[in-house]
């Protein structure tokens, strides 16, 4: 199945013409929020957020995801977010290699 072209318009065209999403605004986001992360980590996280929804092909869902991504982008660059809102994308719990406990009790009793 092919992905809807809106996804490519949102992510690939900014990469091609050196526009806002990854190439120019990542250093600005790093400076605005005083992040102790390299610019490459910010770019990678932006890319991962797009890749997370790679196989979505229902148009209403794609429309909602596009609207949410535009909203997140505007809120981030207008400095309407606090540092904790930006850092939630870099939490260890959100990582792809996190293993969930087998059941509730083992997760509840686990000491980390």
pTM over 0.75: no
- pLDDT, residue 11, reads 53
Average pLDDT of the segment spanning 71-85: 92
Average pLDDT of the segment spanning 21-47: 85
Q: Which of 2, 78, 15 is nearest to 46 (CA)?
A: 15
3-state percent breakdown (helix, strand, coil) of the chain, nearest 5: 65, 0, 35
- pLDDT, residue 18, reads 38
Domain count, the chain: 1
- pLDDT, residue 16, reads 39
Collapse the DSSP code of 91 into the 3-class scheme (helix H, G, I; strand E, B; otherwise coil) and give the result: coil
Q: What is the percent of the chain with per-residue pLDDT over 90, rounded to a whole number?
A: 34
User: By residue range, what is the domain housing residue 20?
Assistant: 5-109
Is 112's pLDDT higher than 60? no
């Amino acid at each position: 199945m092919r992905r809807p072209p809106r996804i490519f318009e949102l992510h690939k065209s900014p990469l091609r013409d050196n526009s806002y999403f990854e190439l120019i605004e990542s250093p600005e986001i790093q400076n605005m929020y005083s992040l102790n992360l390299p610019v490459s980590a910010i770019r990678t996280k932006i890319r991962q957020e797009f890749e997370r929804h790679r196989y979505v092909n229902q148009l209403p869902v794609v429309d909602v995801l596009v609207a949410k991504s535009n909203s997140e982008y505007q809120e981030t660059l207008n400095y309407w977010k606090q540092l904790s809102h930006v850092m939630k994308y870099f939490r260890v719990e959100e990582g792809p290699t996190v293993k969930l406990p087998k059941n509730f009790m083992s997760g509840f009793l686990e000491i980390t």
